[in-house]
Amino acid sequence: MQCCVSITNKGCNRRCPSERELQPWIAKDDDLVQKMWRINQRIIKLIVELMRNHNTPESLVIMASALDLLLRATDGMLVDGEACTLPQLELLEATARAVQPVLEWGESGKAVADGLSNLLKCRLPATVRCLSHSSAHVRALSTSVLRAILHVGLVNPSGQPPSNLIAACRPAYQYLNIDVIDWEADVSKCLTWEAHSRIATGMPIQYLNIAAKELGCPISI
């Protein structure tokens, strides 16, 4: 498994075999699907390592620019048990924790932060649903992801961009500006919606209540 990246003064040239190998997350108990899951897990592990490498701007810029790859890597978080869900939550946590270092690059890094934030915004409902997962590990990690997301709303852009690399590699997706996202309100809304949904179907919400208290985001019933 490899992800080859070439950076030039003219922009970003990306050659990523991992993107072609990433398969849909589907629920089916057979050897082929298990093999697909193992491939996906290795790809996501690679992406997480790149996202955690805050000292290398190239890694974060390329990952933040790869909308399709990031969306596909985090699609189907509730398909099955820990095998599917934990790696995807780890990727979202790494994404949330990467926002602050990116913002410290200055104005140029803000475009990258917008891309990272939009991924988190897109996967917020699924992350909240993971709070009621049967696995304690999944519940704990989803709470950690939401805590990291809430922290995104507390950071302020500062510092100078490390190089002109950022301007050459703008994210391909900027649906929302990070400045207009109210993370606390969005998390609270998702928690409330999920609670109402579970109550309507006769399902318990004790795990949601526990997480809401830990996060300081009230649920309106």
Contact 130, 77 (CB under 8 A): yes
- Convert the pLDDT of each residue in 52-71 to its tens digit: 877 777 777 777 667 678 88
- Convert the pLDDT of each residue in 168-203 to its tens digit: 334 433 345 666 688 999 999 999 999 999 999 999
Collapsing DSSP to helix, strand or coil, 11 comes out as: strand
- Nearest alpha carbon to residue 177 among 128, 127, 116: 116
**Identity of the amino acid at 185:** A
**Identity of the amino acid at 193:** W
Contact 174, 115 (CB under 8 A): yes
Helices (H), the chain: 17-21, 31-52, 57-65, 67-73, 82-103, 107-129, 136-152, 165-168, 183-200, 206-215
- Residue 181 tokens, joined: 């996202």
pLDDT tier for residue 38 given thresholds of 50, 70 and 90: confident
- Convert the pLDDT of each residue in 76-101 to its tens digit: 777 667 877 898 999 999 999 988 88
In the chain, what is the greatest distance between 2 CA atoms, to the nearest angstrom?
58
d(CA 35, CA 213) in angstroms, rounded, equals: 39
Q: What is the dihedral of CA 72, 86, 113, 168, to 10 degrees?
A: -50
- Which pLDDT does position 29 carry in this prediction? 64
Cα–chain-centroid distance for residue 74? 7
- Nearest alpha carbon to residue 181 among 120, 97, 128, 123: 120
- Convert the pLDDT of each residue in 99-153 to its tens digit: 888 888 777 778 788 888 888 999 999 999 999 999 999 999 999 999 999 998 7
Give pTM, 2 decimals: 0.76
- Which pLDDT does position 79 carry in this prediction? 62
- Nearest alpha carbon to residue 61 among 117, 116, 124: 116
Residues 6+ apart with CB under 8 A from 174: 111, 114, 115, 118
